Amino acid sequence: MKLLKTNRPVKNRALPGNESLLRQLWNDPMGRAGMIGVGIVILMAIFAPWIARYDVAKMHAKDKLISPCAAYWFGTDNFGRDVFSRIVYGARVSLVVGIVAVGIAAGFGYLFGMIAGFFEGRTETVIMMVMDVIFAFPSILLALFIVAALGPSIVNTMIAIGIVNIPVFARTVRASVKTVKSTDYSANARSIGLKKMKILFKHVTPNVMAPFTVQATLALSGAILTEASMSFLGLGIQPPNPSWGSMLSDARKFMERAPWLVIFPALFIIMTILSFNILGDALRDVLDPKLKL
């Protein structure tokens, strides 16, 4: 039986090669800005031991609440610790928590979304019902509840943030799978007797990866913000590990005397989240140019 010719968007919507993708992002002004911002944070996290000027836990008794100067670029806190060094190491904590948490959410969300979107029926109903229940809770409140139940630690913080982000990925993947299933080439593949698993990996998966990758990039900024919020409330990263959120929490009592304790951690939180959001928007435009119309 001769199949009707159809436009196969698999190659158009699938992830392009690394060189092509990076080149397109760099040629876009917003993409370039996002890449530079994210790159700065990543370099800070990787080279923290060489960039930091002092031990993050070392207290200088005579140098408490010193304003920014040549010795202490971002000043010192109420314990005499160097704020710049703690911010540099805080970038490492934020990135690790964000990447691991998004990895947990993306892994489970991808699995549940593929199963729900491809097999449908009662399986889809049960999975999406569970996702809706999780999604009904405000993310920060649910994450705080999970950490309160498990105990505050960096591992439990990553698990909590990962769990609350699973529904977002599941919904994204499920919507993409349903879109691909409704296309002509998927119908033709079924009509010639291709097995479901072959259709899933050959036709569905490449088309899901583009929105999935964009969602993962945007979710990183949300995960970093959630971690900072939880640390600010005392249920996130625990001392002596430096966290931008806990630095803001500790600075509340001294913000009038030492405003730099609030300004610099808040500035890096804003810059990091904004960079990931800009990069995610640029990545979406590159992977799906139709959204520009």
The pLDDT of residue 107 is: 92
pLDDT tens column, 29-50:
888 888 999 999 999 989 988 9
Percent of the chain scoring above 70 in pLDDT: 82
Q: What is the DSSP letter of 64?
A: T
Once rounded to an integer, what is the mean pLDDT over residues 54-58?
A: 79
Question: Above 60 in pLDDT, residue 4?
Answer: no
Q: In whole angstroms, give the CA distance from residue 76 to residue 126.
A: 53
pLDDT tens column, 133-166:
888 888 888 888 898 888 888 888 899 999 999 9
Name residue 82's beta-bridge partners. Answer: 76
Cα–Cα distance list, 232 to 20, 142, 161, 218, 262 (Å): 40, 16, 15, 22, 12
Tokens of 163: 């769990």
- Phi-psi region at 193: left, alpha or beta (left = phi > 0; alpha = psi -120 to 50): left
The pLDDT of residue 140 is: 86
For residue 203, what are the contacts with CB-CB under 8 A and spacing of at least 6? 10, 180, 185, 186, 189
Once rounded to an integer, what is the mean pLDDT over residues 77-105?
A: 89
Question: Above 50 in pLDDT, residue 270?
Answer: yes
The pLDDT of residue 14 is: 44
**Hey, which CATH number is domain 18-292, 3.30.479.30, 3.40.190.170, 1.10.3720.10, 3.40.50.300?**
1.10.3720.10
Question: Above 60 in pLDDT, residue 291?
Answer: no
Question: Above 80 in pLDDT, residue 68?
Answer: yes
What pLDDT band is residue 8 in, cutting at 50, 70 and 90?
A: very low
Cα–Cα distance list, 124 to 131, 132, 167, 259 (Å): 10, 12, 13, 52
Residue given tokens 């993310």 in the structure block: 139
Cα–Cα distance list, 216 to 55, 152, 213, 224, 242 (Å): 33, 25, 5, 12, 25
Q: Which residue has the higher pLDDT, 258 or 105?
A: 105
The pLDDT of residue 36 is: 92
What average pLDDT does the structure give for the chain? 81
What pLDDT band is residue 175 in, cutting at 50, 70 and 90?
A: confident
Q: In whole angstroms, give the CA distance from residue 191 to residue 152.
A: 54
The pLDDT of residue 188 is: 61
Cα–Cα distance list, 226 to 74, 143, 203 (Å): 24, 8, 35
Q: Is the peptide bond before 240 cis (omega within 30 degrees of 0)?
A: yes
What pLDDT band is residue 167 in, cutting at 50, 70 and 90?
A: very high
Q: What is the DSSP letter of 2?
A: P
Percent of the chain scoring above 90 in pLDDT: 15
